[in-house]
């Protein structure tokens, strides 16, 4: 049964019958798409070519398009919110308070300094070293300024399925990868919260099978993985020791005491670069690993400016041509307290004695130290407060 009614001066047909025409079924499906259900009453114009009917249809199409656009916008907003939350969790942003240090990278010519990462929840990240395949960087971090005893070891994934993720290995400082990236040697400070003996330790790269090696700090694997060079702080000397803890022997320290931080290996593994003192001066020097009487010491640079101090450890480029180290500017200081304040990276030739050159065009930040090369020699990673 069909009943005619007058609505706003327009004659419409109200369908009261359960059987509707094909056009009415089309209207029912439109309502279902737009509002999620069927209308209780379906309206149709009395005449198919009525302009009011066409206007109504156009309006419904616009409403449907607007609804779809709104739904798409809400979906995009939800996706952006999820991505932002994931990024905030995986890639901590730089904090602004004094003492915050993060890891940065820079090209070997001093250009393109870029923020890399920082350990989540930690005030200072330092001592970075790339894995030999270039997919990870190991480093240490502390939760409060100056709390070196409470330092943690971290590994940050640069590539691969775990890109952007951190692994916290607990207590430890100054990690170094074995050449096959299967082991990590590190140091522990006295009074560490893990309650274990200080010194140089070694573990598998997954954190298992931890073993103490010796009473020394700042371990660095030799290129062939057969030796570790370590810094014996009690005697200001550099020793070498096998990764199994055997055959420890002194390399340098008698005629030229080694400054804090020890040294790093040449690419060939036959020499070690370090910072030492002699005759009241600080020197950047190298020594042969097989030399027990220190006759092979070769001085590359002597610091004669009393307002500057050489800061170790220096690091040798993979091609053997360049050495990068930090130099502390005591005169033009922007902050007077602190062991590493006002330190800036410098580059010097590893082949002939020369003057170190500021790596960046200008002095940036308050602390720049712990430089280490990428495996391909194109990039340097370092710790900086800036």
**pLDDT digit string (tens) for 35-80?**
344 433 333 344 455 778 788 888 888 888 878 877 877 776 676 6
3-state secondary structure of 63: helix
Rounded to 5 degrees, what angle do the CA atoms 188, 91, 125 make? 25
Query: pLDDT at residue 170 above 70?
Result: yes
With cut-offs at 50, 70 and 90, classify the pLDDT of residue 335: low
* Residue 172 pLDDT class (50, 70, 90 cuts): very high
pLDDT > 70: what percent of the chain?
A: 80
**131 neighbors 138 (Cβ within 8 angstroms):** yes
The answer to whether residue 209 scores a pLDDT higher than 80 is yes
pLDDT at position 15, please? 39
Read off the pLDDT of residues 108-123 as tens digits, 9 standing for 90 and up. 999 999 999 999 999 9
Whether pLDDT at 28 is above 50 = no
Say what the pLDDT of residue 93 is: 56
- Residue-wise pLDDT for 181-203, tens only, equals 999 999 999 989 999 999 999 99
pLDDT at res. 229: 98
Mean pLDDT of the chain: 85
Beta strands in 17-118 (DSSP E): 43-45, 102-107, 114-117
Nearest-angstrom CA–CA distance, 176 and 183 = 8
> Which residues are 312's β-sheet partners?
none
pLDDT over 50 at 289, yes or no = yes
Does residue 260 have a pLDDT over 80? Answer: yes
| pTM score of the predicted model | 0.75
Strands 10-15 and 2-7: antiparallel
CA 314/CA 316 separation, integer angstroms: 7
From residue 238, alpha-carbon distances to 120, 213, 233, 265, 282 in Å are 33, 15, 9, 12, 16
At residue 82, the pLDDT reads: 61
3-state secondary structure of 182: coil
Between 89 and 214, the higher pLDDT residue: 214
Give the confidence band of 27 by pLDDT, cuts at 50, 70, 90: very low
pLDDT in tens, 227-253: 999 999 999 999 999 999 999 999 999
pLDDT (average), residues 165-178:
98
| Cβ pair 366, 335 in contact under 8 A | yes
Q: Exposed (0-12), middle (13-18) or buried (19+): which is 312, by Cβ within 10 Å?
A: buried
- Cβ-contact 263, 238 below 8 angstroms: yes
Task: Kindly indicate the confidence band of residue 341, based on its pLDDT and cuts at 50, 70 and 90.
Answer: confident
Q: How confident is the model at residue 349 (pLDDT cuts 50, 70, 90)?
A: very high
Tell me what pLDDT residue 80 has: 63
Going by pLDDT thresholds of 50, 70 and 90, the confidence category of residue 94 is: low
What's residue 65's pLDDT?
Answer: 82
User: Could you tell me the pLDDT band of residue 148, with boundaries at 50, 70 and 90?
Assistant: confident
Which of 125, 115, 126 is CA-nearest to residue 93?
115
């Amino acid at each position: 049964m069909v009943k005619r009614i007058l609505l706003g001066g327009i004659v419409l047909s109200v369908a009261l019958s359960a059987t509707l025409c094909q056009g009415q079924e089309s209207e029912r499906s439109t309502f279902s798409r737009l509002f999620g259900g069927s209308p209780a009453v379906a309206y149709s114009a009395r005449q198919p070519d009525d302009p009011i009917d066409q206007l109504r249809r156009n309006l419904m199409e616009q409403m449907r398009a607007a609804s779809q656009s709104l739904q798409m916008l809400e979906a995009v907003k939800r996706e952006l919110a999820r991505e932002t939350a994931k990024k905030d969790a995986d890639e901590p942003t730089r904090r602004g308070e004094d003492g915050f240090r993060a890891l940065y990278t820079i090209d070997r010519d001093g250009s393109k300094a870029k923020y890399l990462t920082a350990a989540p929840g930690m005030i200072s990240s330092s001592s970075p070293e790339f894995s030999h395949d270039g997919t990870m960087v190991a480093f240490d971090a502390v939760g409060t300024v100056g709390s070196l005893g409470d330092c943690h070891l971290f590994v940050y994934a640069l590539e691969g399925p775990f890109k952007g993720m951190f692994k916290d290995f607990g207590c430890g400082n100054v990690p170094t990868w074995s050449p096959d990236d299967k082991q990590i040697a590190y140091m522990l400070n006295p009074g560490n919260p893990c309650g274990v003996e200080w010194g140089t330790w070694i573990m598998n790269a997954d954190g298992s099978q931890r073993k103490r090696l010796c009473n020394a700090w700042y371990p660095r694997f030799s290129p062939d993985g057969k030796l570790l060079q370590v810094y014996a702080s009690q005697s200001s000397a550099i020793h070498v020791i096998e990764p199994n803890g055997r055959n420890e022997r002194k390399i340098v320290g008698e005629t030229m005491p080694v400054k804090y931080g020890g040294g790093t290996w040449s690419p060939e593994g036959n020499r070690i670069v370090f910072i030492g003192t002699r005759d009241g001066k600080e020197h950047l020097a190298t020594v042969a690993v097989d030399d027990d009487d220190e006759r092979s010491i070769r001085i590359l640079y002597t610091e004669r400016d009393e307002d500057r101090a050489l800061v170790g450890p220096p690091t040798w480029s993979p091609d053997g041509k360049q050495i990068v180290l930090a130099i502390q500017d005591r005169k033009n200081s922007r902050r007077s307290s602190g062991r590493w304040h006002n330190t800036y990276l410098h580059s010097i030739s590893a082949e002939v004695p020369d003057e170190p050159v500021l790596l960046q065009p200008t002095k940036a930040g308050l602390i720049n130290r712990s430089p280490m090369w990428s495996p391909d020699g194109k990039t340097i990673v370092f710790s900086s407060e800036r």
